[in-house]
Chain A
């Protein structure tokens, strides 16, 4: 038995994992929403140049990495906003310039061994310093508070940028804030996840959460849950397995994604077999369709010839017989059957079921 928590560096690595597992998916969902899943990767590249400058100059690598990543974030967002020029290529120049500069500068520093470089690129549980933890905790707090406070606006801009601009939301400042949040997340994650794998912890938990979530707020909660399980689990596993923590975390996140994908698709298949689809009718149930609305658990059913119809994706589900509006006697009436055949109109919510008002 290894008591993980009694080991000093493990305590620090686990705390760092908790922080990064929480904030990375919070920021990442907006990157997924804006279809910028790979931008965090590029910022990690630039942060490596920052780390290298820190190592050579003797400044704290975490702070120089933060500075480099934030500057890159702002420049990238300004380039994207200008749009017309070849922004994509400009990003590539910045990203590869960053990682190439980082590798070259690190080789000139006293601690520039290949092993040291590996730790920065792929994460290590051994490297989190006590002072790093304070910085990480402060940055993680800043990221979560900012993300929480601006969430409705970041959501609006990522959902429909043109609309956001039309109604006067500050689109460019919000995009810059998101880019800076991404850069800051990169730095918080650099010790345990590593600069080449950071983006994965922002994106993969969100990929898994999108398979189960039914709303944006649900998506955020699921992503944080997946992120925490992968980051803390990955750090904990990397000690007994003696593997780089970043790789372990990301493999765990990918495994969670695969398991979630399999489970949700099996459940969907079972659910499809189980649920009853109502007969098709051309009109849409709603306030004015003439069919009484009945609350049924978490949703509204409409009483259609005594049957409960519940909206489900592109069709209506059959949710059984409604007792106040029993089905008409005799064979099943089709959706466009005559209105006069229904017998019960006892609930008094609205007039009794009428069918075929529109077709």
Chain B
């Protein structure tokens, strides 16, 4: 049915997508995250987990080149980040509130902006580009909403528009910021199904979140960040066993919420104990 994979499989010789060595990031004068060693390889589905203010967003934005690197090295696809210019290889899915409603735009128009890094300076989208845009919308289950004005879509649908926008750039890794925040339970499942489809296509994913929720079953690895440092890095299974010891190592109240009550089902993910009361009806 599909002529080409949406995301190229063998684009980089090395299989390390993102490598951080002693990296510290911050905004202006303050260092938010210090001395991080982390390597994410092709095909991994990694959740970067931590409470609000833990430094996980700083880490993500540091990798994306959106905030200052204070120390250490960041290597992207084997290239030092200061030399790395083909930024479209990183597919960024920001939080939904960036889907601005100041002027009207259709889902297709938004997704088409994700194609821009792949076409010439003055160029317009050609037939193949339009096809990729249409396919991206199809992958996230919004093919029939292409011409719909985005502000009329539900929160979960808007989130999927942003995923489709990232896919349209044919990235080699998807970096998602809080994909489930503010999305109700039914739509979290739709979202998880969409990500399932991407997993089947061997898309590497980095999911920054403070709640695992419906996405937990997809993961191959969990990295816990708190207080500006990595506290845990391992498989979901190891996370399940380590959870109690990590829990006892720290006295921060965040950990009580974050690391207890592990259940595979949606409403009892380890991190959404503090979220269930806020989820929308």
Binding site for B on A (CB under 8 A): 29, 32-35, 84, 149-150, 152-153, 155-156, 158-160, 162-169, 206, 210, 213-219, 282-288, 293, 298-300, 311-314, 358-359
Contacts and interface: CB of A to CB of B under 8 A. Distances in A.
Interface in B39-75: 64-66
B141 A215 contact: no
Contact of A286 (B100, B144, B147): B144
B103 A219 contact: yes
Given A35-B102, A149-B122, 14 more contacts: A32-B102, A155-B109, A159-B105, A159-B110, A167-B87, A167-B92, A214-B149, A215-B106, A216-B105, A219-B105, A284-B186, A285-B144, A287-B143, A288-B193
Interface in B113-150: 113-114, 116-117, 122, 124-125, 138, 141-145, 147-149
B66 A160 contact: no
A295 B28 CA distance: 54
A215 B122 contact: no
24 contacts: A32-B102, A32-B103, A35-B102, A149-B122, A152-B124, A153-B116, A155-B105, A156-B113, A159-B110, A160-B113, A165-B66, A166-B92, A167-B90, A167-B92, A168-B86, A206-B103, A210-B103, A216-B105, A218-B104, A219-B105, A283-B186, A286-B143, A287-B143, A312-B152
Contacts of A166: 64-66, 87, 90, 92, 94
- On chain B, which size bracket covers the interface? 35 or more
A254 to B, nearest CB: 19
Contact of A311 (B28, B88, B138, B144): B144
A311 B98 contact: no
Nearest to B86: A168
Given A84-B28, A169-B116, A163 B94 contact: yes
Contacts of B186: 282-284, 358-359
B80 to A, nearest CB: 16
Contact of A216 (B106, B114, B152): B106
Closest 8 CB pairs of A and B: A168-B87, A156-B113, A300-B144, A166-B92, A216-B105, A313-B152, A286-B141, A215-B106
Contacts of B143: 286-287
A311 B117 contact: no
A33 to B, nearest CB: 5
A311 B157 CA distance: 12
Contacts of A293: 144
Interface of B: 28, 64-66, 85-88, 90, 92, 94, 98-100, 102-106, 109-110, 112-114, 116-117, 122, 124-125, 138, 141-145, 147-149, 152, 154, 157, 165, 169, 186-187, 189-190, 193
B144 A214 contact: no
B109 A215 contact: yes
A287 B100 contact: no
A283 to B, nearest CB: 7
Contact of B169 (A149, A159, A167, A219): A167
Contacts of A156: 113, 116
Contacts of B88: 167-168
A159 B100 contact: yes
Given A155-B113, A214-B104, A160 B144 contact: no
B188 to A, nearest CB: 12
Contacts of A217: 109
A153 B116 CA distance: 7
A154 B232 CA distance: 42
B109 A216 contact: yes
B7 to A, nearest CB: 15
A28 B90 CA distance: 32
A162 B94 contact: yes
A125 to B, nearest CB: 32
Question: Which of B85, B98, B103 gathers most chain A CB within 10 Å?
Answer: B103
Nearest to B169: A167
A306 to B, nearest CB: 19
Nearest to B100: A159
A168 B104 contact: no
A215 B116 contact: no
Given A33-B103, A215-B105, A358-B186, A162 B145 contact: no
A169 B117 contact: yes
B104 A162 contact: no
The CB with the most chain B CB atoms within 10 A, among A34, A215, A218, A293, is that of: A215
B102 A33 contact: yes
Nearest to B144: A300
A170 to B, nearest CB: 9
Nearest to A216: B105
Contacts of A288: 141, 193
Nearest to A293: B144
Contact of B92 (A163, A206, A358): A163
A34 B116 CA distance: 19
B86 to A, nearest CB: 7
Pick from A32, A214, A282, A359 the residue with the most CB of B within 10 Å. Answer: A214
Nearest to B92: A166
